[in-house]
Structure 1
Amino acid sequence: MPGTGLILAGLGLAAIGYGGRFLKRYAKNAENLYKKVETLQSGALSGYYRGGFEQKMTKREACLILGVSPSSSQAKIKQAHKRIMLLNHPDRGGSPLIATKINEAKDYLESKKP
């Protein structure tokens, strides 16, 4: 059929037109979404400690790992240790390094308490 090429060209131009219209309409929304994702990435995890472990355990690092204050009681330290170890135990898929650091933090804080 001689008119098939003409029909296909028209359909192609229509598809390009609708695609351009779609992009123009939703480009502004996509830009806003991108800005929201950027702020989420920087602000959502700001309450957590960022950074690696120190060579030697300090009181500050131990408190950050367990999520307790430096003046916390022995019971609060043990409770925080248990809660965190349940989530990060190597038998449940947690990292052995993280588990070691959690135990080291508990031992450090317990040894510094009277």
Structure 2
Amino acid sequence: MIYLIIGLILLTALLTLGNKFVNANPANLARGLRLFGGAFLMVLALVFALTGRFVFAIPLFGLGLSVLGMSGLNWLSSGYKPQKTSGQRSRVRTAMVEMELDHDSGHMTGIVLAGTYQGRELDQLTETDLEAFWQETAQDGQSQKLVEAYLDRRLAGWREHFQANGAERQGSAASSGPMTDEEAYQILGLTPDAGDAEIRAAHRRLMMRVHPDQGGSGFLAAKINEAKDTLLRRH
């Protein structure tokens, strides 16, 4: 009985292939042969499995998947891929300023927490106001680095206008102390229930936005790295 079933499958396959061969171009024919061959091997493996011949069924099934290639393996090999949620924002806070980075657009916004312009949004400040506030932040290294990251995105050539030494000010400011979990989650734009895969994915996505090699900020890149390390150590 098993051989009759196999014979019918082979006959059907030959008839189908004959029809395809007449009508298909070489590229489509090759693709069709690969897909049909893989499907045939998997059907044959199923027949052997139903008759209890697993010693033949298992290798035939694996061979069928191999012939099908990724088109037949996507559903098995895709694995876990964290989905990027739209609207995510990273938040970094220092003594004098709080900054937010939109993951989708890369746009950076901020609000002044202390000083002459307390309560004002950085986007609302004029170039003169920004220069004055930047000079005020000299009393707090981390705040100044954060403001400089904003200026790098908003005002091309601000370093020359503000008479800043760009080479000195591109490095990372000294840490004000160990980063808390709450701060790390805010920097990466994640919630406390985020897993390792989501932490790593957020880190990669943000580094593409702010890495110094991409014209970003060394200070922000250091903060993002610290946030990832902090959360992964906890996990």
The alignment's TM-score, normalised by the length of structure 2, stands at 0.27
Which of 221, 225, 235 is the equivalent residue of 1:103?
Answer: 225
The 1:48–1:79 alpha-carbon spacing in structure 2 relative to 1, beyond 3 Å, is: closer
1:20-46 alpha-carbon deviations (Å, 9 max, x no partner) = xxxxxxxxxxxxxxxxxxxxxxxxxxx
- From 69, 72, 76, give the equivalent of 2:191: 69
Corresponding residue of 1:86: 208
2:8 aligned partner? none
Choose the corresponding residue for 1:59, options 174, 181, 187: 181
> 1:21-32 counterparts in 2 under 5 A?
none
Distance of 1:101 and 1:76 partners within structure 2: 17
Report what 1:19 is aligned to: none
CA shift in 2, pair 1:83/1:92, >3 Å: same
Q: Percent identity between the aligned chains? A: 43
Moved over 4 A (4+): none
Higher helix share: 1
1:64/1:109 Cα in 2 relative to 1: closer, same or farther (>3 Å)?
same
Q: Is the alpha carbon distance of 1:92 and 1:79 closer, same or farther for their aligned partners in structure 2, counting shifts above 3 Å?
A: same
Q: Secondary structure at the match of 1:68?
A: coil
Mind listing any 5+ residue stretches in structure 2 that lack a counterpart? 1-88, 95-141, 143-175
Q: CA deviation at 1:48?
A: 6.3
Give per-residue Cα distances to partners, 1:52-96, cap 9 Å, x unaligned.
175320000000000011121100001100110000000011111
Larger Rg: 2
* Distance (whole Å) between structure 1 residues aligned to residue 221 and residue 196 of structure 2: 19
Alpha-carbon distance between aligned partners in 1 of 2:233 and 2:190, rounded to the nearest angstrom: 15
Q: Contact between 2:90 and 2:188, CA under 8 Å: does it hold in 1?
A: no
Aligned alpha-carbon RMSD (Å): 1.9
Counterpart amino acid of residue 82 in structure 1: R
Cα distance in 2 for residues equivalent to 1:50 and 1:81: 14
* Contact in 1 for aligned 2:91/2:189 (Cα 8 Å): no
For 1:78, what is the secondary structure of its paired residue? Answer: helix
Equivalent residue of 2:179, what SS? coil
TM-score for the superposition, normalised by structure 1: 0.53
Greater RCO between the two (CA within 8 Å, min separation 6)? 1
Residues of 2 paired with 1:49 and 1:78: CA distance?
17
Provide the aligned length of Structure 1 versus Structure 2.
67
Higher strand share: 2
Unaligned runs of at least 5 residues, structure 1: 1-46
- State the shift of 1:50 in Å: 6.5
